[in-house]
Chains A and B, each alone.
Chain A
Amino acid sequence: EDQVTQSPEALRLQEGESSSLNCSYTVSGLRGLFWYRQDPGKGPEFLFTLYSAGEEKEKERLKATLTKKESFLHITAPKPEDSATYLCAVQARTGGFKTIFGAGTRLFVKA
């Protein structure tokens, strides 16, 4: 069964304290892995798509990487405005349009 597990469930950082969020996945042939940011009471906002192991993408203080079993979202020198829930999701080659989401990591950055 395809599934996505994110860790930790919650992460508290001081401003400027870099860290990484983990997304472990099991899927029958990965078609793509997605990272989204979700603020309280809002819809997820697209960040990155990764297609194959070894791929990396960056946006401001965020960098996403992908291996055959997991993805990391690295946050460098976070600011309080980076506080949000970060969701990971996967699509399988044989799954059509179905996207399976993890439960997310809630990130709190304190000034």
Chain B
Amino acid sequence: DAMVIQNPRYQVTQFGKPVTLSCSQTLNHNVMYWYQQKSSQAPKLLFHYYDKDFNNEADTPDNFQSRRPNTSFCFLDIRSPGLGDAAMYLCATSTSGVSTDTQYFGPGTRLTVL
């Protein structure tokens, strides 16, 4: 089945220690997104790629970076995690078109910062 895969599902890191989360997709969608979701809150868009074009949200901290080496893979790098970065990180994909872009989500990576 076509899907969005996130690894790892659970990640524990230490305060200030860099961490990388990965996302892969078999849907062949050209748009990939990273969201941060804290407990009982709305998913918050961090950035997205439209093909290779990177689009950063204005309020996304510089601590968060992303890479998309090819259509199928996208990475979220947190350079120096703080306690406030503990959250669920969701990857989503969509295919651009003339109508709206329904997004399909992966299962998420739960990040714990000690």
Contacts and interface: CB of A to CB of B under 8 A. Distances in A.
Q: Which of B55, B92, B103, B104 has the largest number of chain A CB atoms within 10 A?
A: B103
Interface stretch (A53-61, A65-73, A74-82, A91-99): A91-99
A44 interface: yes
A57 to B, nearest CB: 12
B55 A96 contact: yes
| Size bin of chain B's contact surface | 20 to 34
Interface string B95-108: 01001111111111
Contacts of B34: none
A105 B104 CA distance: 20
A110 to B, nearest CB: 20
A43 B102 contact: no
Given A43-B106, A44-B105, A97-B50, A102 B100 contact: no
A97 B43 contact: no
Nearest to B106: A43
B102 A34 contact: yes
B110 A46 contact: no
B110 to A, nearest CB: 7
A4 B41 CA distance: 12
B103 A46 contact: yes
Interface of A: 4, 31-32, 34, 36, 41-46, 49, 51, 87, 91, 96-104, 106
